[in-house]
Structure formats: C-alpha cells, structure tokens
A and B are shown apart, each in its own frame.
Chain A
Amino acid sequence: MNPKVLSLFSSQFPSILCLTRKEDIIPYSFDGTAALQNTPVAVVFPRSTQEVAGVVKFASEHLIPIVTRGSGTGLSGGSVPTPGCFVLCLSKINRILEVDDQNLCLLAEAGVITAAIAKAADDVGLFYPPDPGSMKISTIGGNVAENSGGLRGLKYGVTRDYVMGLEVVLASGEILFTGNKCVKDVAGYTLRDLFIGSEGTLGIITRVLIKLIPKPTARKTMLAIYDQVENAAETVSAIIAAKIIPCTLEFLDSVTINCVEDYAKVGLPREAAAILLIETDGNTSAVQEEASLMAKLATKHGAVSVQIAETAEQAANLATARRAAFSSLARVAPTTILEDATVPRSELVKMIRFIQQTSAKYHLKIGTFGHMGDGNLHPTFLTNERNHEEMKRVEVAMKEIFDYAVLLGGTITGEHGVGLAKKDFLNQALGELNISVMRKMKTAFDPLGILNPGKIFDLNP
C-alpha cells in the first residue's frame, strides 16, 4: 500500500489508534482457526460508531478492504485479514449502554464480551441463553456476525433468536438502525436478520439490542453412560418424544472419553462408547419431574449407569467431563481442527458412525463431541499442520464428512460460520441459486466490495 495513504489516515483521524509496526500487527494476522494466517496493512481501533463510519468512508474512498474483528476467536477464518486490508478492531467499543427490565432487553456496543452480557442480565434476574464456548472472551458483535450457537441451542436457540435490533455502519459510511424494542414489528423487510451471520461482509455491526428472558429458577443435571452409541441416540429420541426439551444434551464419543481420562482423570469407564450430559431447567417442580423421567428413559434405553446430581457441587462434577472435552483433545496433538458438521437429530447415529469409519479409513485421530439435542457435532481432528502428508488426508476426510452431512439433510457448519475455512464446500452444500442470490445481496450492500472481501464466497465465480 502507498505509505501516503497511511499518513493521510493518521492525519485525518488523529484520535484513532492505528497500528502498523510488524510487532504490533503480527498478533492480528490470525483468529481462532487453525492454519490460516495473513498480515494486515494496519489495525485500527475506533472508539465510537462515528469513528467506525469515518474509517469506512476513508476505506471506500481509497478502496481498502476492511476486515472487522472483535476478540479474534472465530473458528472459520472470518476475521483473518485479507491481503492489503485494514483490520477494524472493535474491542475498545465495549460499553453496555442500557439494561431495560421493563422490555426485557439490553443495549450493548459491539465490543462487549459475551460473558459480560450474560452477567449484566443475571445481575437483574434475567437470562441471556446463548453460550458459545469462547464466551469469556468473544464479543457480542462477533457473535451476531457469526450467529454463534452454544450448548443451549435445542431449548433456547442461538444468537439470532436474541437480537431485537442492530446498529450497522454500511459500506457507504451511513449509520443504519434496524429493529426496536417491540416484540412485534412487521414494517418492511426485517433487515437485521440479513446482518446476523453475515460475517462482516454486508455491514459493520456497532451496537446490538439484545432480548433477555426470565432466569429459570431451578436446574437439574445428570450423566448417563452407554456402551453403544445407538443407545445414547435412542435415549435422546425418547426424551424428545416424551415432550421434554432439556436445556443441555451433550455427547462425548469414545475417543473423547479416553482423552478426557488421559488428561482430567474424572473416572469415566474407558470402554464406554458414549456419555450424555443432560440438563433440564425451569421451575422447581417441573425440573424434578422431568429429571426423574429422563433418568428412567436413559435406563430403559440401555444406559449402563445414570447419575443425578443432588447438589450444585455434584452437578459441577458431572459436567467436568464435558467441560474438559475440548481441552483434553487439544492437548493430544499440536494442531487441533474443530469442525461443526450438523445433521437433523434423527440422523445423528449415522453421522457419528461415518466419522468413526472415516477416521479409521484415513488413519486419523478424530474425537467427536457435541450438542446431541440439536444435531450439532464437533468432530475434532488431532493432527499436525507441519505434517503435509497427514494434512492432505485431513482435507480429504473433512470433505467426505461434509458431503455426508449434506447428504443426510444437514449442513457443513452449524455454528462456526463459513469464512475462509468452509468456503470451498459452500457451493455443493447450498447450490448455485442460493449463492447467486447471496452475491446479489452482497453487491447491493457493498458495491465496491470492501467489506471482508473473499469471505463466505467469491464475488466472481
């Protein structure tokens, strides 16, 4: 880039921190995705929506690509810099502006950490359910841009279900607010829905109006152990058929169980084929009833053991294995690739079996855990990005797994987004028409193609 552009930027925006030194910008050359890296030209830190708008106007005048970033925890390369870009980092725009307990909502700036939103809600007896794994550091803006999920999807839905309104800086530099505090609103297109999950390609989300719900008063946790994956899946089906929607239905496969035992030693039987962590929440009497019914169903469908927590401490103990799952897998090999192929719940067993077969076929170590209630699995490849031969097998295996998920009526990504990592698989998953409609939308919102270009799909096929 012409160095004059950088000095022009600094003179136009003296109050905006702009990093360009190698030591300052190398740390912004990646996000949470394995094996994707690219150094930006500069990293800028606006402090307000107006400053964001200023940066975007400047970028459109000089045709500089803008890659928006929060805490950089994304798992599909959505905030990995594109060549010649400015990284627009929103981590310093991070105030919670309003908690409205009359209308059950909260207004936050994009850089607020997700956990801070959950806490602000909790402080007034309310509940923000989406709990992506990185919520201690991920930003709400990033969550909305990726439409992040979490462990509570089955009962409570995902980030999209909690967005009432958005403030967005458009590619033109204009500031749009879409949505409001009303429960009902059918005035025109619901534009906010377009920006949710748009991965920074349509606009830059600067504020989020978030829906909150009353906090459930009770919670009951149990752990069921199985010697056959099918039995775990049947238990899940039986629970749903019994008209119970648990808030958590988490699954660990045998590879994951053994990795957990190697690292955290929680006392799981190593020969177990699957464990299910089941949690129900709501009012006290319903929770009690549901818990005992679910325990019966688990036993009836072949669980080798079912433990119900009587105290909060016991509940935390039962959840240890699930909490330790990712850490335990991540320690096994230098490179950890966390995928999120998702299928309809009824197809879960087929998907799990297929992953196991693929792992054997290509001699790869894949641990699978995930959200059994919503069909969202996390096949986790334990590999080494410097072993090029093995990485080739990883790529082939991954493609086969995605293809199979689509064949079963599922999707290539349940909650991580497409970004760069899944871009090559999108066409086959969605078909040409879907993508061509998306391209038209992209062009309508961002005619110059400066907003996170090259993510999700390429503009020119």
Chain B
Amino acid sequence: MSEKESLRSLDYSIVQQCMHCGMCLPTCPTYDATLLERNSPRGRISLMRAVADGNLEITKAFGEEMYFCLGCLACETACPAGVDYAHLFEVARAEVESAHVLDNPQRSLIRSLVLKALFTRPRLLRIVGRLLWFYQASGAQWLFRALHLNKLLPNRFQGLEAQTPAACVRFSHQLIKPVERPKITKYRVGVLTGCVQDVLFSSINRDTVETLIANNCEVHTPPVQPCCGSLHAHNGDIATAGQLARRLIDLFDVEKLDAILTNAAGCGSHLKTYGRLLADDPLYAERAALWSAKLKDIHEWLAEIGVRPPASTEVESQEVVTYHEACHLCHGQKITHQPREILRAIPGLKLVELPESTWCCGSAGIYNITQPEMAAQLQKRKLEKITSTGAKTVATANPGCHLQLQNGAQQAGHCFEIVHPITLLARAYRRESGKL
C-alpha cells in the first residue's frame, strides 16, 4: 500500500476484483480450522468492502478478524481473479490501528517497544541480541529455568521464555566485509542482512555471501542495516514502514547494482513493494520503483543467473532433506521451483517432497505471539507432515518459519535439523574446496 491509503480511498476495483467464487476457502488455514466465512479471505474481503461502502464501521470485531488472518497469502495463489489480498490486508490493518479499536495498555506498550523502539534501531537490536546471548551463555537462562522463574510472568507469556531463540555469538557485520569480491566478477549485488536474521541467524547471511562469491558476484553488504519494515507494514504501522524503506534504500547504490538480494522470505515479499509504498514521495518514488525491480530473493537470483552446481566430493552429505515453503516465498513471491532446483543441485542430497509444503507453519511474523493457539495448531500439523517424510533435515528460507519449526521440534522431542537451503549450498561449496 502507499502511505496514504485507507479502505475508503483505495481504488475500489481492488476490493471489487474479488468475485466471491470461494476458491480461496480450502487453502485458508483459519477457515479450515473454523469453517466460518468470516475467518476466510472471501469473508474478510466482504468485511473490507462493507467498510469501503460505508456499511460497516471499523469495529473491535473487525480488528480482531484482521489480526486473526495469518497473512500467509495462500489465498492469492488460489485466487482465479488475481485479487491483491496482501495490499487489502495491509490497508485494513493500518485502518484498524488508526481507529484504535484494539487498543489496551499492554498491547500499546508491546507495539511501541517492538515496532517503534526495537525494530527501527539496528544497533539497539544488536545490543538486545548481545544481552540475550549473555543471558544464554552465562548460565542465567539455565538458572531462570531451574528456579521456574517464568511462573512470575503473566500467564500468556509463560510459554514464551522457552521459545527464546538462541542469539548468535557474532552478528553479520562481524562475519561479512562491506565489499567482498570473487576472482572473476560477473555481477555486482547488494545483500540485505535483515534484523532477526542478523541477530539470530548471521551465519545464514555469511552463507549467502559465500554462495554469491562462488557464483561470481561481487557482494556489497552495508554493515548496519535497519529492519526492512515488513513487520510494520503487516501490522498496520505504514508510517514507520515508509521511514525504514527510505533508510534502507539510502544504504545501497541502487542504480549501479545488478540486484539487491534478501534471503528472508517475509522480508522479500515486502521489500518488493517499496515502489508502491513510496509512490507518493517525489524524492523517493523513482528510486523505490527501481529498487522493487532489482530486489530479488536469493534463490530467484541464483536460478536466474544459473547456479553453479557444486562439484561432487568424496565426503558427500547423503542427506535426506525435505523442503518447507515459507508462505511469503511461495505465495507472496511465487518462488517455488528455484529453491528445489538449488537443493537438487547439491551432490548427495536427496530431496523428498513435504506433503502440504505450502501450508502455513503458524509463525506468520509475530502471529505465534499474538495468536498462540492457532499458531500451535499449525505448528503441530506441520511437524506431523515433516515426520511423515522421514527426513531429518528440513530446509526453509524464512527466519520466522525457522524458529517456529525449531521450537516445535524441540518441544515434541524431534531431532530435525532446520536449515536454510542456502546454508546447504554453502556447505557443498565448502566441501568442494576442502574447507569442511
């Protein structure tokens, strides 16, 4: 959405494009769970349309419904009419926020801490990441758990401590130089290190840079990058999303780079919409449009330039891998075959298809915190499907899914390795050069 849109000012044809055929219903995880129209994309669009027509106020129930939606966009894949649900859903959530129908002190505090304070300040986020690491490495976490101190937390947060992700020892800027060059440079690309990815999965960023170098790309990685704003745009804070987009664009030489790359599905899906987000800003509109054109998911880019298959070595992995498709990769960006091609290019790796691979795992940004019950149901369903494949390695390309699967597996006592497809590719390149 652009920064000034509301349901009533929106180009009506976007709402009207829904012909209410119902083809989205069987693909919607919330409809599947309740069989109530309101919890389906078609139902939600009808509520948005009622608001646009002036037949419904923005009410608390409307707000709750917009936040019950996972935003997984499976409906977009199923839609015969090409409804831009992501756009509608962002506008609707933004309107829920400006109408303040869901406000309560606790929610406002969490929103301002998370959206306004933490995820706009990359250095602060790194300090928090460092504290988290210290908490885990020093034994404080062990002590906290041993003493059952989580009992002191409010009920709905008691389960959260157990889900605290492990922070990295080193963050992206400590692993990646601002410019890294291959022997022969064919392309020049920028790499986005993300916010969660930077603090929790910085090694995936390193792996991304290494696979790019192995494919003759000169890699530009600004050391301090803000969050891309997807969290904000998906949670109704369009103004902050706009500010973050401008800051991120300023960090890259958009005109000169061949592509700007992300390895996080949820970010990519949003980063590609900067053109629309900043369309009304005369200073940024043009660069933002160029940015959108050059923004690629890492798998998409590698497939486009023809990924170099790693050479076979004597120490091949012999891994059986299954692939869970992040919603914002398969539905949000329609990237489905590229990650599989990359996985199949790895010598010794056997890819087994995951049943319901495109069904949401329940992570959905911060959904697992805001709607823990639904998120847990989906997590359980996903883990059952993974177990049915017999694979011990699960590849997935989004930090949210990564954490959701990791936590789920841990709680259920499974010993799956959750790994980014690019990490598996990077490992194969390392085996090839004898570094592993």
Q: Would you call B81 and A27 a contact (CB within 8 A)?
A: no
Shortest Cβ gap from B280 to chain A (Å) = 23
Q: A23-B56, A23-B59, A34-B19 are in contact. Are A136 and B26 (CB under 8 A)?
A: yes
- CB neighbours (8 Å) of B21 from chain A are 32, 73, 134
Q: Would you call A32 and B20 a contact (CB within 8 A)?
A: yes
For chain B, residues 18 to 76, give those with C-beta under 8 angstroms from any C-beta of chain A: 19-23, 25-26, 35-38, 40, 42-44, 46-47, 50, 55-56, 59, 61-62, 65
Q: Quick check: is B144 within 8 A (CB to CB) of the other chain?
A: no
Q: Quick check: is B178 within 8 A (CB to CB) of the other chain?
A: no
Q: Would you call B46 and A134 a contact (CB within 8 A)?
A: no
Chain B residue nearest to A263 in the complex (CB): B82
Q: A91-B35, A330-B19, A331-B81 are in contact. Are A23 and B61 (CB under 8 A)?
A: yes
Q: Quick check: is B106 within 8 A (CB to CB) of the other chain?
A: no
Q: Would you call A73 and B81 a contact (CB within 8 A)?
A: no
Q: Quick check: is A335 within 8 A (CB to CB) of the other chain?
A: yes
Q: Quick check: is A336 within 8 A (CB to CB) of the other chain?
A: yes
Q: Quick check: is B164 within 8 A (CB to CB) of the other chain?
A: no
Number of interface residues of B (CB under 8 A): 31
Q: Quick check: is B16 within 8 A (CB to CB) of the other chain?
A: yes
Q: How far is the CA of A24 from the CA of B39 in the complex (A)?
A: 9
For chain A, residues 301 to 334, give those with C-beta under 8 angstroms from any C-beta of chain B: 326-327, 330-331, 334
Q: A23-B61, A28-B37, A134-B21 are in contact. Are A330 and B47 (CB under 8 A)?
A: no
Interface size on A, as a range, is: 35 or more
Q: Would you call B19 and A336 a contact (CB within 8 A)?
A: yes
Q: How far is the CA of A322 from the CA of B138 in the complex (A)?
A: 63
Q: Quick check: is A184 within 8 A (CB to CB) of the other chain?
A: no
Q: Would you call A27 and B19 a contact (CB within 8 A)?
A: no
For chain A, residues 371 to 424, give those with C-beta under 8 angstroms from any C-beta of chain B: 384-386
Q: Would you call A335 and B62 a contact (CB within 8 A)?
A: no
Q: Quick check: is A255 within 8 A (CB to CB) of the other chain?
A: no
- CB neighbours (8 Å) of B42 from chain A are 27
Q: Quick check: is A26 within 8 A (CB to CB) of the other chain?
A: yes
Q: A32-B19, A136-B26 are in contact. Are A23 and B38 (CB under 8 A)?
A: yes
Shortest Cβ gap from B253 to chain A (Å) = 33
Q: Would you call B20 and A31 a contact (CB within 8 A)?
A: yes
Q: Mark B251-277, 1 if CB is under 8 A from A, else 0.
A: 000000000000000000000000000
Q: Would you call B36 and A32 a contact (CB within 8 A)?
A: no
Q: A384-B13, A386-B16 are in contact. Are A71 and B25 (CB under 8 A)?
A: yes
- CB neighbours (8 Å) of A113 from chain B are 26
Q: Quick check: is A96 within 8 A (CB to CB) of the other chain?
A: no
The one of B23, B43, B82 in contact with A27, judged by C-beta atoms closer than 8 angstroms, is B43
Q: Would you call B35 and A23 a contact (CB within 8 A)?
A: no
Q: Quick check: is A237 within 8 A (CB to CB) of the other chain?
A: no
Q: How far is the CA of A233 from the CA of B50 in the complex (A)?
A: 45
Shortest Cβ gap from A338 to chain B (Å) = 9
Q: How far is the CA of A331 from the CA of B81 in the complex (A)?
A: 5
- CB neighbours (8 Å) of A28 from chain B are 37
Q: Would you call B13 and A327 a contact (CB within 8 A)?
A: no
Chain B residue nearest to A43 in the complex (CB): B37
Q: How far is the CA of A28 from the CA of B42 in the complex (A)?
A: 10
Q: Quick check: is A29 within 8 A (CB to CB) of the other chain?
A: yes
Q: Quick check: is B134 within 8 A (CB to CB) of the other chain?
A: no
Q: Quick check: is B17 within 8 A (CB to CB) of the other chain?
A: yes
Q: Would you call A326 and B80 a contact (CB within 8 A)?
A: yes
Q: Would you call B56 and A26 a contact (CB within 8 A)?
A: yes
Q: Quick check: is A95 within 8 A (CB to CB) of the other chain?
A: no
Shortest Cβ gap from B358 to chain A (Å) = 14
- 10 nearest A-B residue pairs (beta carbon): A27-B43, A27-B37, A327-B80, A330-B81, A23-B61, A334-B16, A73-B22, A331-B82, A334-B13, A32-B21
- Give residues in A with beta carbon < 8 Å to B: 19, 21-24, 26-32, 34, 71-73, 91-92, 94, 113, 115, 134, 136-138, 326-327, 330-331, 334-336, 384-386
A32-B20, A115-B26, A136-B23 known; 17 new pairs, CB 8 Å cut-off, are A22-B59, A23-B38, A26-B47, A26-B50, A27-B40, A27-B43, A27-B46, A29-B46, A30-B20, A72-B22, A72-B37, A113-B26, A137-B25, A327-B81, A334-B16, A385-B16, A386-B12
